[in-house]
A = this chain, B = another copy of it.
Amino acid sequence: MSERPITVRPPYVAVIGDGEPSGPDAHLILEWAEEIGLELARGGATVITGGLGGVMRAASRGARGAGGLTIGILPGADASEANEFVSLPIATGLGVMRNLVVVTAADAVIAVGGRHGTLSEIGLALRMGRHVVALSSWRVESEHRLGGPRVHRARDPREAVALGLRLAAEGPFEPS
C-alpha cells in the first residue's frame, strides 16, 4: 500500500474482466485493461476492481502509473491477496458475492473481455442501476422487448473510458 498522499474523489469507475485471460487475445485484453486504467486515472477517476490478477491487476497498474487511487474489493478475508497495484484493499470474505460490491461501489462499470464471472457482474451492475460499457466483452440483449439501459459497446479503450466517464458523471439509473 502506498505511503504517498493520494486524493480520494469521485467518480469511481469499476473495471471488470478475466482474472486469468487465456487464448489468442489474452495479451490484447491485458493491454486494453492497462490503458483503460491509465486513462481513467488521467480523467480523474478512482478505479475499483476485484483486486486480483489479470484484468484487475492490469487496470490497477495503469491507474497507478498515472497517480490514481485504486480500490480492490477482494473475495477472500486476506488483504494481502490484493495485487501490488491496489492502493486500498478491502477484504470482504464474501466469496462470489463480492462481485455485487465491485459494481455497486462504482458510479459506472467498464467490462473488458471476461468469462461467466464478468457476465454475472454485468447483470448485477444493471440490476443495481449502474451503466455498463463493454469492450470485446459480453453482448446481452433482451428478447422480450425490454426498454431501459443496455450495455454500451466501445470499440477501443479510449472510447470505453470516454463513455465510462460520461456515464459515471450521469450516475446510476433507476433499476427496473
Contact = CB atoms under 8 A, between A and B. Distances in A.
Contacts of A4: 7
A125 to B, nearest CB: 8
A86 to B, nearest CB: 10
Interface of A: 1-10, 12, 23, 25, 29, 69, 71, 73, 77-79, 87-88, 90-97, 99-101, 104-105, 113-117, 119-124, 126-129, 134, 136-146, 148, 172, 175-176
14 contacts: A3-B9, A5-B6, A6-B6, A78-B172, A92-B101, A92-B105, A94-B95, A96-B127, A113-B144, A114-B142, A116-B148, A116-B175, A119-B123, A123-B124
